[in-house]
């Protein structure tokens, strides 16, 4: 009998998922995406993205590997050093970690901006409302009065005083084309993605190969711990982070299958 056979596929509330279930995190993640689709904040395609992520997380042992923790610390240092950090929110991010993104924004002084691959006014409004329900004050992404160069019109829309002018952007579960276009704009890009071979982590200054439900709270913990650190110390953390090693470590862990 598979793990899935032991838990009904249609739990109504996440509290019904037993915390001691061996695949608890996966069931929780899947449930939140389903709930996001039902609430109109997550596109149906978000379920496919979730399925891909889930397979990689299984192979990573569903834990934050040491190189991912290093990346999460470097991400915190980048966000604290930034003049204008922005955290990008798509439908999966809103479904999985709404309150956690609000907490990270507060810990680092970053703006939150809704940025959708399948953009409709209804979904933008639903996500903004959802973030407000989870404690957000201001949420950007409604103006969409600027464009990321080298992307098609709909996919390129951002706020002029948000992602467009940001120096550091956190783009979790980002589409490869947009991650590349943001990189070409010269931004410091932090990507959270469970697939180290995906284009988004490949172009990131800080690729975090970890499940977003573990990664975001951990970046916040690092940011709170580093809040009083000297600028020189933050710069040392940033300089010592090795993006190639982080990607190689994650790939090695996935390929070795040593769980």
Of 170, 194, 226, 246, the one binding ligand ATP by CB under 6 A? 194
What is the smallest separation between the CB atom of 204 and ligand ATP, expressed in angstroms? 11
Which of these segments, 35-43, 149-157, 197-205, 231-239, binds ligand ATP (CB under 6 A)? 197-205
Q: Does 200 bind ligand ATP (CB under 6 A)?
A: yes
Structure tokens at 254: 């996935």
Task: Give residues 137-176 in contact with ligand ATP (rule: CB under 6 A).
Answer: 173, 175-176
Nearer to ligand ATP, 180 or 221 (CB): 180
Q: Does 193 bind ligand ATP (CB under 6 A)?
A: yes
Straight-line distance from the first to the last Cα atom of the chain, in angstroms, rounded to the nearest whole number: 20
Q: 3 labelled as ligand-binding?
A: no
What is the smallest separation between the CB atom of 93 and ligand ATP, expressed in angstroms? 9
What is the smallest separation between the CB atom of 258 and ligand ATP, expressed in angstroms? 20
Q: 193 labelled as ligand-binding?
A: yes
Q: Does 199 bind ligand ATP (CB under 6 A)?
A: yes
Q: 155 labelled as ligand-binding?
A: no
x/- track of binding to ligand ATP for residues 10-49 (CB under 6 A):
-------------------x-------------------x
Nearer to ligand ATP, 187 or 199 (CB): 199
Structure tokens at 171: 């783009």
x/- track of binding to ligand ATP for residues 98-137 (CB under 6 A):
----------------------------------------
Q: Could you tell me the CA-to-CA distances from 197 to 67, 202, 203 in Å, in that order?
A: 16, 7, 10
Q: Does 218 bind ligand ATP (CB under 6 A)?
A: no
What is the maximum alpha-carbon separation in the chain?
54
Contact 91, 43 (CB under 8 A): yes
Number of residues interacting with ligand ATP: please give it, by CB under 6 A.
19
Kindly list the residues in this chain that would bind ligand ATP in the complex (CB under 6 A). 29, 49-50, 52-53, 56, 96, 173, 175-176, 192-195, 198-200, 211-212
Which residue ranges are tagged as binding site? Answer: 30, 52, 193-195, 199-200, 211-212
């Amino acid at each position: 009998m598979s793990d899935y056979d032991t838990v009904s596929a249609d739990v109504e509330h996440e509290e019904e998922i037993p915390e001691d279930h061996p695949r608890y995190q996966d069931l929780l993640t899947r449930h939140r995406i389903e709930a996001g689709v039902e609430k109109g904040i997550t596109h149906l395609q978000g379920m496919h993205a979730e399925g891909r992520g889930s397979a990689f997380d299984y192979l990573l042992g569903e834990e934050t590997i040491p190189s991912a923790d290093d990346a999460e610390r470097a991400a915190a240092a980048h966000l604290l050093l930034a003049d204008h950090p922005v955290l990008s929110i798509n439908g999966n991010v809103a479904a999985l970690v709404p309150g956690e993104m609000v907490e990270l924004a507060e810990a680092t002084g970053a703006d939150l901006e809704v940025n959708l691959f399948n953009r409709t006014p209804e979904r933008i409004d639903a996500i903004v409302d959802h973030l407000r329900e989870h404690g957000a004050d201001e949420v950007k992404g409604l103006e969409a009065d600027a464009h990321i160069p080298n992307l098609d019109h709909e996919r390129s829309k951002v706020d002029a005083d948000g992602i467009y002018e940001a120096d550091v952007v956190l783009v979790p579960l980002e589409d490869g084309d947009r991650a590349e276009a943001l990189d070409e704009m010269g931004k410091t890009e932090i990507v959270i993605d469970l697939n180290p071979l995906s284009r988004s982590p490949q172009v990131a200054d800080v690729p975090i190969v970890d499940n977003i439900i573990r990664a975001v709270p951990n970046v916040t913990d690092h940011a709170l711990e580093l809040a009083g650190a000297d600028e020189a110390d933050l710069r040392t953390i940033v300089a010592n982070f090795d993006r190639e090693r982080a990607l190689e470590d994650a790939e090695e862990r996935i390929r070795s299958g040593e769980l």
